[in-house]
Structure 1
Amino acid sequence: MEDSKYPPGTAPIKAEYRISLEPRSVIDDDDAAESKSSHINGGHHAISEEYGGQDTLSPGKHHRMSKEEKKRRTGANKGRRFGKTRDKLELCWKVARGDICEFGGECRMTHDINEYLAQKPRDLLFPQNVDSVPIPGSSSEEHSVKDSEMTESYYPPSVDPSSSCPLFHTKGECRSGFKCRFLGAHVRKSENGELELVKDEEKVARRKVETTELNFLPLDTLKRLRSKKYPLPITDAYMKEMQESESKKSMTQETNGKTTFTEVELMNGDDGKAQRDSPDVPLRFSEKKRLHWRGLTYLAPLTTVGNLPFRQLCVSLGADITCGEMGLATSFLQGSKEEWSLVRRHPSERVFGIQLAGNKPGILTSTAETMAREFGSTGIDFVDLNCGCPIDLVFRSGSGSALLDAPAKLSKILIGMNKALGEIPVTVKLRAGVKEGRNTAHKLMPRLAAETGIGTLTLHGRTRQQRYTKLADWDYIRECVEAVRAREADEGLAPIPIFGGGDAYSSQGYWESVEHGCVDGVMVGRGALIKPWIFTEIKERREWDISSRERLELIRKYAEFGLNHFGSDTTGVNTTRRYLCEALSFTHRYIPIGLLEVLPGRLNDRPPAFRGRDDLETLLASPDSRDWVKISEMFLGRAPEEWVFTPKHKSNSYGSEESQG
């Protein structure tokens, strides 16, 4: 069929796979990829607005909401909650891991392992490959253990010795112990007839470095943060310096009617070099660790979906640089366990950063100082300041893209963070501007590169107001890069890496953007959410017509990574299920390139109703959240009856009345 017969923006599906020319019914608000929804239970500061709505407030201003506004903000999908699914009888974690509980009889949980195993759900069977994985709807779909499959009668009915535990397989031990839903893989009968946990000491020693996650914050540090007793000498000195400089600025204005003060003087002397007579200035800008990122692939920081298991999957597919989910600086300083879990790093992440959002120099400098002290340059390679988030609640607080219209404040923030982080570089992610038709990045970027000592700039080629309604403006990205390079040349500064962002969805498109935008690389966000294997395509400079079984293997790997991260007990299994479904809410949008008449595929094209080349490919393209849950059940067993899933950017929910029709 000729392209002219397709409505604009429609993917050209081959006739043999096309069901009709009518567009497939799917809601895919891409702002959901940037919205804040805490990775555990919705969090204490979950940010989820009616995406795409019009702003009525300017940054920093507040007003009393009417009943209608409150109702709008608390409606469907505004404050998602995912309650933890627990065992009916809770076994003490100490006992579950083979240790002695210090609370003894006063412990609120049971210490009776036999009683716990008697009511524990049957072991799950996690496949080591997808060759034998049945497609939902087949007669062999059930993954729970049948009594007839039990091979050794002395095991309780809940334990299957043929089970395979992803944690035990990877690490040589399982931290969930007797609570593991794959317990049969690492338990045996002792000489006295009791069940005991198995540990592969050789594998534990051999795999410890490559499997142990990094950046755990001690509990006593969290307590000091919550009680505001954490020492922050660099921040204190910087804030005092700022106050003195502001006084100097005020006096100068009164005397001369103008000011000669610039924010850069807070870090540098009048001669442009960092002052070394103060112990609170650890490094000159020139002594910062330089980032050599040209040619590297960069996975964008993505809230909720961009968690550690997803980043680990992308690294296995070729991502070189990864960044944790956006975290709020205020929540870090309040000692939020949920927020600090966002900085967890897998050893496979070769270049890893943390992204912060905030609007005050003192708070962001304090957060940066805490991270530098706790993790150092071995735990984090850079800290990124979010100056691009368009979501209403972030913008209205003066954070995210609101900082684009506050260059003086932004400079103070970056200088303070630079001082606090020592040799760890600061990077900035920003948008073209706030309002459509009023781009400002070409003025802001050269100033930031020359005056604040940042290590990298990343420019998303849309304004805050545009969201994702138009294609990224790569002509403007090139203009901004040229402006930065011109100032660097004028002032004899070493060039910093500059990345562009927007619409990267194929190898061809990626490399064309690099060339056209004169950038060192392209940050990949939505493209990675929909097809994580895009990094393989970029590295190998090819378009990969990935098969349905290959895609299913990536889903299996994600589930394995999730269990290793979240745990293999009942709660961990269903937390993994939740985030797997979050990922499937994006990957179902992938249109197999073997079905397209024209290559490469384009990110913003929407398909008409179509069928895949096999039943599995059709299932993986389903926009129905119930099918996403079915796919999760192929690896994680049946979802509990009480478990629900509300997609971040869709209204149909697994477990809701709307999804049962």
Structure 2
Amino acid sequence: MTSGEGKHDGGDLLPNDAESEYVSGGNNAEAELSVLELVAKARAPVKKDFLRTPGDRLPVIDAASIHAVAESENTATSKVSTTKKSKRQQKKERQVAKKSAENICNAVAKANDVNACPYGKDCRFNHDLEAFLAQKPPDLPGKCPFLDTRKPCPYGAACRFSGTHDMLTDLASRPLEAEKEELNNLRKDFQKILWKNHAVFPRADAQLMSLGILGKGKRKTPNCVSVEVTDVITMEIDPASQAMKVEGDVVDKQNNGTTFTNCELVENEKVTSEVAGGEDEEDAPARKKSKAYPTMPPDSAGTVSLGTASESPTSGDDAECRLTVREKKLVDFRGKLYVAPLTTVGNLPFRRVCKQLGADITCGEMAMCTNLLQGQASEWALLRRHRSEDLFGVQICGAYPDTVARTAEMIEKESEVDFIDINVGCPIDLVVNKGAGSCLLTKPTRLKQIVMATSGSLDTPLTVKVRMGYYEGKNCVQSFIGDIHDWGASALTIHGRTRQQRYSKVADWEYIYKTSYLASENLQVLGNGDIFSYTDWNEHISAAKLSTCMLARGVLIKPWLLTEIKEQRHWDISSAERFDIVKDYVRYGLQHWGSDAKGVETTRHFLLEWLSYMHRYIPVGLLEAIPQKLNWRPPLYYGRNDLETLMASDSAADWVRISEMLLGPPPASFSFTPRHKSNAYDRAENG
């Protein structure tokens, strides 16, 4: 799923009357039920000795006993907001804050010199270093997270751990790591090309033309796409004309083999791109977009593609053969632990934690194609990859073949990814109402065009993630699973719920089992839904024709599920071990988002979002029956120590208390609004 595009709002696992009985009846009613009765009602069978009543107060943990706790006299009162500020108000506050003493210029802070900024008085940020240091809050406990990278801290005086920077002298003699920690950064020059709509997508456009999807509009695109590229072509932007220039020799086969040298690509006038085919013609509105096409000498036409003739997708009798799905380098999913793309929580620091605990395959958060094509930096940040992610994919979401195919070609060229996944399962209204996500399950013709156009534009393997269907009781994956490999998909993930179900009810694994036997022998089928223990994993892997199972909410609640599957055991993890995992996440977050004040608060925000899932874990030693199921609702209970009790709290204020142990007290203006209700066990931010 994408970041910031919308949130899920699924139904309840229990009927309203059952849920109110659970809340109002307290744990006295829970203690009177047997283990089997509790499990039948999807209530966690916690041992009676650990149950507590709603009126009991949680213990106040001694800050000094948790290793990295803020001083109690400096701890501010945490606030949990139930309302969100408007975007206009947030923008106004940001503009005012830029010139305040709190926002020191990065160049000045890094060099600790007021004259270090190249913009001088024209800089939008504050240059008063003394005023900044005077109002800067005390350093946080611990050491600068960048010391582990053996590189100087990029935040200098602005770092909340600047007091430990003298330790860098001890590292001066150590060799620096040559490899970049994070890959797939958006190049500024390419972002400007996207902003000006000057990017060209030769492979995608040629594939769209061959499928009859592209080419209608005010000015007809070239009819001839049978073009042979006889030399390697390079492109550059002409600063004077702002046109894209192509260097290389092109042979037009339909014009007596005429050779054109150094063809120039210029921006064409507005054209209309329509989605062709069956039911989609009526509901697909005309969408005007500026395209770029090659200009050729009179009485000639053609399509230019980067690379050599063997890479140029063409059509007609003389068409060159593109790479088929069988010829591409495939990703072997068999038996591997695959962490699903998880919006908001499945960020790069979280994926680093998953890799540390045993994940084999990771995937970035869902990114919207339209935002990527517009060069939005926040959306491109979802494609970031840490070098520890040795098998990494990205997930994109779009409504039309042209946007998805062009986005995929752009990602393959600009980023290092092992596969690209198309989201056909996102249930949120904002995405579905635009014709993307689960909506594509109601438009099989368009879905086919998207997969074919995208696969034909890539050398990278293409995978697809779907739900069983759009409407409950009307499953549809069985209608196309036998053909989707021929369309170009190398793997298909099936989530065992419909869009209408969202995350209510238990995943229908029987349907996944039956559907997997209808797939082509060369198609890898993956199952997804409600895996929360190694026994769940073993059961699903052995019961059907599945290559592997995708792990989603189970990993959010207990990321050590990956270790449990690897080691085939139920891990009764202690609160100290869980807290160590949280500390690793915070360290990775500070390295990713920054160790200055802004980076600390960004890390705190995403940590709180993760804790809103993580608190649902019930320690193995407290259960009457194991393993815990994903849909079990825990009663109020005490842990085996104060920290375990605090981690079990469903109060957002207690999650903030946990964040204070590692990131210190939040600023006075701090507020946190959970993205989903803390007790909504059927809601999750993954597509």
Instruction: For 1:22-41, list aligned pairs within 5 A.
Output: none
Alpha carbons of structure 1 residues 438 and 288: separation in structure 2 relative to 1, 3 Å: same
Query: 1:428 offset after TM fit, Å?
Result: 0.4
Alpha carbons of structure 1 residues 551 and 97: separation in structure 2 relative to 1, 3 Å: same
Normalising by the residue count of structure 1, what TM-score does the alignment of the two structures yield?
Answer: 0.74
Report the counterpart of residue 44 of structure 2 in structure 1.
Answer: 11
Query: 1:97 offset after TM fit, Å?
Result: 1.9
Instruction: For 1:105-144, list aligned pairs within 5 A.
Output: 105-126=121-142
2:644 aligned with 1:644: no
1:474–1:516 Cα contact (<8 Å) kept: no
Report the counterpart of residue 268 of structure 1 in structure 2.
Answer: none
1:21–1:608 Cα contact (<8 Å) kept: no
- Alpha-carbon RMSD across the aligned residues, in angstroms, is 2.9
1:581–1:629 Cα contact (<8 Å) kept: yes
1:291–1:496 Cα contact (<8 Å) kept: no
Query: 1:77 offset after TM fit, Å?
Result: 6.8
Alpha carbons of structure 1 residues 592 and 232: separation in structure 2 relative to 1, 3 Å: same
CA offsets 1:225-254 (integer angstroms, 9 cap, x no match): 11110121112222322338999xxxxxxx
Report the counterpart of residue 439 of structure 2 in structure 1.
Answer: 402
Instruction: For 1:102-501, list aligned pairs within 5 A.
Output: 102-126=118-142, 164-187=143-166, 200-203=171-174, 205-209=175-179, 212-243=181-212, 282-375=322-415, 379-422=416-459, 424-449=460-485, 451-484=486-519, 487-488=520-521, 495-501=522-528
Report the counterpart of residue 621 of structure 2 in structure 1.
Answer: 594
2:42 aligned with 1:2: no
1:328–1:339 Cα contact (<8 Å) kept: yes
2:104–2:127 Cα contact (<8 Å) kept: yes
Report the counterpart of residue 549 of structure 1 in structure 2.
Answer: 576
Alpha carbons of structure 1 residues 90 and 168: separation in structure 2 relative to 1, 3 Å: same
2:106 aligned with 1:93: yes
- Separation in 2, partners of 1:243, 1:199: 64
- Separation in 2, partners of 1:278, 1:562: 53
Report the counterpart of residue 283 of structure 2 in structure 1.
Answer: none
Corresponding residue SS for 1:608 = coil
Query: 1:274 offset after TM fit, Å?
Result: 9.7
Runs of at least 5 residues in structure 2 that lack an aligned partner in the other structure: 1-32, 58-81, 217-276, 279-312, 680-687
Tell me the amino acid that sits aligned with residue 601 of structure 1: Q
Alpha carbons of structure 1 residues 292 and 641: separation in structure 2 relative to 1, 3 Å: same
Report the counterpart of residue 229 of structure 2 in structure 1.
Answer: none
Alpha carbons of structure 1 residues 4 and 458: separation in structure 2 relative to 1, 3 Å: closer
1:474–1:517 Cα contact (<8 Å) kept: no
Tell me the amino acid that sits aligned with residue 113 of structure 1: L
- Separation in 2, partners of 1:202, 1:283: 49
Corresponding residue SS for 2:496 = strand
1:171–1:208 Cα contact (<8 Å) kept: no
Corresponding residue SS for 2:52 = strand
Query: Which of 580, 593, 598 lines up with 1:571 in the alignment?
Result: 598
Tell me the amino acid that sits aligned with residue 448 of structure 1: I
Query: 1:223 offset after TM fit, Å?
Result: 1.1
Corresponding residue SS for 2:466 = strand
2:621 aligned with 1:628: no
- Separation in 1, partners of 2:54, 2:136: 50
- Separation in 2, partners of 1:244, 1:175: 48
- Separation in 1, partners of 2:571, 2:321: 50
Report the counterpart of residue 536 of structure 1 in structure 2.
Answer: 563
Alpha carbons of structure 1 residues 280 and 230: separation in structure 2 relative to 1, 3 Å: farther
Alpha carbons of structure 1 residues 628 and 277: separation in structure 2 relative to 1, 3 Å: farther
Query: Which of 632, 636, 641 lines up with 1:605 in the alignment?
Result: 632
2:516–2:545 Cα contact (<8 Å) kept: yes
Normalising by the residue count of structure 2, what TM-score does the alignment of the two structures yield?
Answer: 0.71
- Separation in 2, partners of 1:277, 1:564: 54
Tell me the amino acid that sits aligned with residue 341 of structure 2: P
- Separation in 2, partners of 1:507, 1:604: 16
Equivalenced residues, count: 518
- Separation in 2, partners of 1:111, 1:468: 50
1:12–1:597 Cα contact (<8 Å) kept: yes
- Separation in 2, partners of 1:114, 1:549: 40
Corresponding residue SS for 1:384 = strand
- Separation in 1, partners of 2:187, 2:170: 26
Tell me the amino acid that sits aligned with residue 385 of structure 1: I
Tell me the amino acid that sits aligned with residue 382 of structure 1: F
Query: 1:518 offset after TM fit, Å?
Result: 2.9
Query: 1:293 offset after TM fit, Å?
Result: 1.4
Query: 1:496 offset after TM fit, Å?
Result: 2.9
Alpha carbons of structure 1 residues 109 and 396: separation in structure 2 relative to 1, 3 Å: closer
2:492–2:526 Cα contact (<8 Å) kept: yes
Alpha carbons of structure 1 residues 118 and 508: separation in structure 2 relative to 1, 3 Å: same
1:298–1:320 Cα contact (<8 Å) kept: yes
Report the counterpart of residue 267 of structure 1 in structure 2.
Answer: none
Query: 1:112 offset after TM fit, Å?
Result: 4.3
1:430–1:460 Cα contact (<8 Å) kept: yes
- Separation in 1, partners of 2:461, 2:170: 41
- Separation in 1, partners of 2:141, 2:105: 24
- Separation in 2, partners of 1:90, 1:374: 32
Instruction: For 1:498-537, list aligned pairs within 5 A.
Output: 498-537=525-564
- Separation in 1, partners of 2:125, 2:215: 57
Runs of at least 5 residues in structure 1 that lack an aligned partner in the other structure: 25-74, 127-163, 189-196, 248-258, 261-272, 489-494, 653-661
Alpha carbons of structure 1 residues 275 and 351: separation in structure 2 relative to 1, 3 Å: farther
Alpha carbons of structure 1 residues 95 and 505: separation in structure 2 relative to 1, 3 Å: same
- Separation in 2, partners of 1:170, 1:473: 45
1:566–1:572 Cα contact (<8 Å) kept: yes
- The range that moved more, 555-564 or 97-106, is 97-106
Alpha carbons of structure 1 residues 244 and 564: separation in structure 2 relative to 1, 3 Å: closer
Alpha carbons of structure 1 residues 512 and 78: separation in structure 2 relative to 1, 3 Å: farther
Query: 1:182 offset after TM fit, Å?
Result: 0.2
- Separation in 2, partners of 1:640, 1:432: 45
2:325–2:490 Cα contact (<8 Å) kept: no
